[in-house]
A and B are shown apart, each in its own frame.
Chain A
Amino acid sequence: MKAKALKPAADSRRKTAKLWQLRLYVMDQTPKSVTALTNLKKICETHLKGRYRITVIDLLKQPHLAKGDQILAIPTVVRKLPMPVRTIIGNLTDAERVLIGLDLRAEG
């Protein structure tokens, strides 16, 4: 697993502040995968600045990891933390739905 970005929690205004762990499952460098990563980063920077961590998993290199998070669709984002686990599939073009999917609406 390659840590693409790791930012310490800098936003002290939020009392609920905690580290968000996101996993992005991709398959090679397909356009869908690239778009998904770009979109995800953008959303995280906007809403979770400094308290998120994205792990990108390339199933072409690590196919055995697909089973663990029940991955079927590519690309898929899995929110490992905070609990509960949430899953978003698709290239994340619709930011609004991503926020709903990540349950960020209330905080945003």
Chain B
Amino acid sequence: MNKNGAKTIPSPILLPKCRTGIQGLDEITGGGLPQGRPTLVCGGAGCGKTLLATEFLVRGAVMFDEPGVLMAFEETEKELKANVASLGFNLDGLVRRKKIVVDYVHIERSEVQETGEYDLEGLFVRLGHAIDSIGAKRVVLDTLEVLFASLPNEAVLRAELRRLFRWLKDKGVTAVITAERGREQLTRHGLEEYVSDCVILLDHRVNDQIATRHLRVVKYRGALHGTNEFPFLIGEEGLSVLPITSLALNHKVSNERIATGIPRLDAMLGGRGFFRGSSILLTGTAGTGKTIISSNFAHAAGQRGERVLFFSFEESPNQIIRNMHSIGLRLEPMVKRGLLRFHSARPSLYGLEMHLATMFKEIAAFKPHVVIVDPLTSLMELGTISEGKGMVTRLIDYLKAEQVTTLFTSLTQGGHALQQSESGMSSLMDAWLLLQDFEGNGERNRVLYVLKARGMAHSNQIREFLISNHGIDVVDAYIGASGVLTGSARVAQGDLEKAAVLASQQEAAQLKREVERKRKALERQISDLRADYESEASELRRIAEQVGTRTLLLGTERAASGRLRQADAKVGTSTRGKSRNGRKN
């Protein structure tokens, strides 16, 4: 009966134990109730004494082939059968197959007159006969204390009870005796005085209008036992004690990664998404898109052909389907193909224990690859923090053992204090995504970041995510000197940057034009100067020509005057020589 693979603690003392077969109880008691001895189960009304006792018998008969006798003082055989039938025990069948004998003992005090001495040999005879008729190894007396009301002579009764317990021990049967819880002592009539080997206390407590059952082994002579109070459930398969502490951390791990359905988110998680079989926490304030991300995750799993079980504690399945449709996520084909199952229930419908039991049952029946709990916080509010944590631990351990990837969403109220209280829960989680609102510029924008992701490189960046008609879009948020900018501020910042680029472009163009203009001006100046130079040069040439002409004319004039004077005989053959000669003359 050990579905969780947890091992029972071996007792160092060799005290023979009788396995109850009740889930969890054998782990707490280190193997079961003391064999061949009576065990007292006490508790107030409606805390499950009769059920525990009956299950002890039924499991004994079915699982360990140990027939049992149920001596009922409160309920008739018929009532008992009907009561336990609702828990899946076929008491009737076991009675027919002579595995269990039910004997209803009833005394109406008003019909009984007492006179003189008597003993309870009749009870012994009946019990002895029942035990012998089927070779019973287990006996349940439920509830023996009724006799105190039926029989007027308490002194006789006490003496006979003492004898009864000794007789039971001599018979070698393992007995469970149930008793009402007393005010000052464990039982109303002090039965613990007679049954001193093992005492189990059941308790039904109401916290915030929600009832939780607890079990505690008060005493176990000669054996180690868990002394803590353990919550227990009465589910459709009987009793189930939740020994949080004894569950071992030895589940298999997978290296397989599964996509989240949001490519950018996968990219943030080392590019490949979460590990299969990991537990993921998704926290965020109201309206940050927790359900949307969960639905995306579910949808992605559906695309891979995996089964998804969606526990919704706030919305009805149809509401989720409709809402997701509005962002382009179609979940109803998945539901039709049997890949997606919703389980919606109000958290206040029943206590934590019952929710847990229902969830276990659903998971066992549907065998999902992915489980989504949306939101976990609604469940946690049902019990105290430790109870809630215990429950989540057990749930996670169970799911991990089954290699189921689980996404828990958690609603925070914003602010740091709550983030801290959440951290108690987060230590159980393998990955933690945080969704946050950024408020400013008259708008509210969503951002997402990976707070932790065990065993994978993950992005340290804050990303903005947008929810549109096409689903989720994760974009880079603007991170600059003025902090993280999102939404229109991010857009505005982008525009601002564009403007700046444009401005500098314009500036450059301006400069270019200026340079061009200068270059042109320079060229113009150069051409002006050249023009000046050329005009001067041409002037120079003109002057030079003039000078030449004048010299020639001068020579001619001198020759003419020489001829006139006839000073020189040779005229005109060499003007220069003649003139030189002439000048020398």
Contact = CB atoms under 8 A, between A and B. Distances in A.
Interface of A: 25, 27, 32, 35-36, 39, 59-60, 63-64, 66-67, 70-76, 84-94, 97-98, 100-101
A92 B106 CA distance: 22
The 10 A-B pairs of least Cβ separation, nearest first, read A101-B113, A90-B116, A93-B116, A63-B129, A71-B122, A74-B121, A91-B116, A97-B115, A94-B115, A90-B115
With most chain B CB atoms within 10 A of its CB, the pick from A36, A59, A76 is: A59
B504 to A, nearest CB: 105
A42 B103 CA distance: 34
B135 interface: no
A67 B128 contact: no
A91 B117 CA distance: 5
B118 A89 contact: yes
A101 to B, nearest CB: 3
Interface in B475-492: none
A97 B125 contact: no
Contacts of B119: 32, 73-74
Given A72-B151, A97-B114, A98-B115, 12 more contacts: A27-B121, A66-B126, A71-B125, A71-B126, A84-B111, A86-B113, A87-B107, A88-B113, A89-B151, A90-B116, A92-B116, A98-B113
Given A25-B122, A70-B106, A74-B121, A63 B128 contact: yes
A70 to B, nearest CB: 5
A101 B110 CA distance: 10
B418 interface: no
Contacts of A87: 107, 111-113
27 contacts: A25-B122, A27-B122, A32-B117, A32-B118, A35-B116, A63-B125, A63-B129, A66-B126, A66-B129, A70-B105, A72-B105, A73-B121, A74-B120, A74-B122, A85-B111, A88-B112, A88-B113, A88-B115, A89-B118, A90-B114, A90-B116, A91-B117, A91-B118, A92-B115, A92-B116, A94-B115, A101-B115
A36 B120 CA distance: 15
B267 interface: no
Contact of B125 (A59, A85, A90, A92): A59
A35 B119 CA distance: 14
A73 B113 contact: no
Interface in B396-435: none
Contacts of A74: 118-122, 125
Contacts of A86: 111, 113
A36 B118 CA distance: 10
Nearest to B106: A70
Interface in B15-40: none
Contacts of A59: 121-122, 125
A67 B147 CA distance: 16
B123 interface: yes
Contact of A70 (B107, B113, B114, B125): B107
B289 to A, nearest CB: 67
A88 B105 CA distance: 16
A90 B156 CA distance: 11
B3 to A, nearest CB: 39
Interface string B368-389: 0000000000000000000000
Interface residues of B, number: 23
Contacts of B113: 86-89, 97-98, 100-101
Contacts of A85: 111
Contacts of B116: 35-36, 39, 90-94
Contacts of B120: 72-74
Contacts of B122: 25, 27, 59, 66, 71-74, 76
Contact of A64 (B105, B117, B129, B151): B129
Contacts of B118: 32, 73-76, 89-91
B273 to A, nearest CB: 67
A105 to B, nearest CB: 12
Among B112, B121, B147, which residue has the most Cβ atoms of chain A within 10 A? B121
Contacts of B114: 88-90, 97
A25 to B, nearest CB: 7
Contacts of A88: 112-115
A59 B123 CA distance: 11
Interface string B93-113: 000000000010111000111
B446 to A, nearest CB: 72
A98 B122 CA distance: 20
A37 B126 CA distance: 22
A22 to B, nearest CB: 13
A63 to B, nearest CB: 4
B267 to A, nearest CB: 75
Nearest to B112: A87
A27 B124 CA distance: 11
B45 to A, nearest CB: 24
A27 B125 contact: yes
Contact of B115 (A25, A27, A72, A93): A93
Contacts of B117: 32, 35, 90-91, 93
A67 B122 CA distance: 9
A32 B151 CA distance: 18
Interface string B548-573: 00000000000000000000000000
A81 to B, nearest CB: 15
A98 B118 CA distance: 14
A73 B114 CA distance: 10
Nearest to B129: A63
Contacts of B112: 87-89
A71 B120 CA distance: 9
A35 B117 CA distance: 10
A59 B128 CA distance: 11
Nearest to B151: A73
Contacts of A76: 118, 122
A63 B114 CA distance: 22
Contact of B126 (A39, A63, A101): A63
Contacts of A67: 103, 126
Interface in B53-108: 103, 105-107
Interface string B120-141: 1111011011000000000000
